[in-house]
Copies of this chain bind each other. A is one copy, B any other.
Amino acid sequence: MAIIIDGKLTATKYNNALKDSINEMVQKGNRQPKLVVIQIGSNEASSLYIRNKKRACENVGILFEHKVFEESVSESNLLDEINKLNNDESVDGFLVQLPLPKNIDEDKIINAISPSKDADGFCPITLGNVVLNKSKIFPGTPKGIIRLLDEYKIDVTGKKVVVVGRSNIVGKPISIMLTNLSATVTVCHSKTVDLKSETCKADILIVAIGSAKFIKEDFVKDGAIIIDVGTNKVDGKFCGDVDFESVKEKVSAITPVPGGVGPMTVNSLLENVFTLYKEKVGN
């Protein structure tokens, strides 16, 4: 039976450590860190995610402000708000909850966020610095995956990693970050000709495609480590992109869904905010 890589427990551990660090900074006379989340419209999933972020912030001592705009808000009003937040010294980081309504140009909005306030780590300049191995902040899910691997003492140096999925927020950044950490990384996607032959060679298989239970036993190598980024709802229950029951006897370690990568993504957001905060208030 595989080791279950417990993201919930790991996130709690690091959230608690972060809480202590923040508390220490405040004891020294510094202000609390602050995150602002901008929501446009009232997408139900977005509202749920934002509530989770709010709870997580409050739990560790990060001030949280939720700014809601009507779906009909103009792009220029939104850009004005972003500009204000870029220049507001009491705000350490902010993010615009995606997806955006169709009348708003997502690129324009993300590009307007100052890299010194980029809580999500989605800005081009942040990503570029990730490529150059010089960033202090990172997209949340990749950062969370690397922390999980680290927590379970899984050294990636020289390991064969296969990433399935090439999204801008998971697949591409995690492949770059693991290359920088000296893994040998292959990125697969919908156009990969023989996916199974690729995934079967992976020491570490990372799956982020958003397709319920897509990866079965015959896609994995004996003893592989599986990181399942998917969160899909099937018959009212959450499941990952990996068929957990099918692969669990074959692999050496696996993240469950829920309770695997998900909680780590939120922890990464908090860590990014704290990193941006320290850049401002000093150590």
Contacts and interface: CB of A to CB of B under 8 A. Distances in A.
B134 A131 contact: no
A78 to B, nearest CB: 19
A176 interface: yes
B124 A129 contact: yes
A130 B125 CA distance: 11
A46 interface: no
Nearest to A135: B124
A158 B127 contact: no
Interface in A140-189: 157-158, 160, 166, 168, 172-173, 175-176, 179-180, 182, 184-189
Contacts of A28: none
A158 B189 CA distance: 9
Given A176-B172, A184-B189, A128 B123 contact: yes
B184 A187 contact: yes
A173 B134 contact: no
This chain: copies in complex: 2
Nearest to A173: B131
Q: Which of A124, A126, A188 has the most CB of B within 10 A?
A: A124
A212 B184 CA distance: 22
Contact of A191 (B128, B157, B193): B157
A283 interface: no
A72 interface: no
Contacts of A123: 128
B189 A186 contact: no
A188 B185 CA distance: 7
A131 B172 contact: yes
A241 interface: no
A198 B162 CA distance: 13
A26 interface: no
Contacts of A124: 124-125, 128-129, 131-132, 134
A107 interface: yes
